[in-house]
Structure 1
Amino acid sequence: MKQFILTVWQFYRDGFRSMKLGRTLWLIILIKLFILFFILRLFFFPDFLNQATEGGEKDGYVSHELIERMP
């Protein structure tokens, strides 16, 4: 299994090295991932759980909300 993973890694590594735009493409991919996971999370996904709870009663808050919202 370890040899298989190493072979796959070498295959992709050598493939991207031989590409002319390989490094540029990886840079674009990494920049897009950074924007998606860090920048957008800060602005569009605030941490409601920490704002709604005081101290550390997250489990109680979640269980209360689940019970209250049941149809």
Structure 2
Amino acid sequence: MLRRIAELYIDGFKNMRVGRELWLLIGFKLLILFGVMKLFFFPDVLKTKFCTDDQRSAYVLKHLTKE
């Protein structure tokens, strides 16, 4: 059953013309979207604020056990 499902999708993608370009466009847009979000909204706090592993581990432990 899984093989038939896989063959259905593989055959469908082989016979696509416009769909391939649309999937490439969707993938490119997602890559840009998540790349921008990572850069601007999720900074690497541990790499910028602390210089030693002990300081990083203390920071993580403090925020994990915060009540």
TM-score when normalising by structure 2: 0.67
Corresponding residue for residue 21 of structure 2: 24
How many Å apart are 1:34 and its aligned residue?
0.9
In structure 2, runs of 5+ residues without a counterpart are: none
Q: Does residue 10 of structure 2 align to residue 13 of structure 1?
A: yes
How many Å apart are 1:8 and its aligned residue?
2.8
Query: What is the DSSP-based 3-state SS (H/G/I as helix, E as strand, rest coil) of the residue aligned with 1:16?
Result: helix
Corresponding residue for residue 59 of structure 1: 57
How many Å apart are 1:39 and its aligned residue?
3.0
Query: What is the DSSP-based 3-state SS (H/G/I as helix, E as strand, rest coil) of the residue aligned with 1:59?
Result: helix
> Which consecutive aligned stretches of 4+ in structure 1 deviate over 3 angstroms post-superposition?
none
How many Å apart are 1:49 and its aligned residue?
1.9
Aligned-pair Cα RMSD in Å: 2.3
Q: Does residue 50 of structure 2 align to residue 50 of structure 1?
A: no
How many Å apart are 1:13 and its aligned residue?
1.8
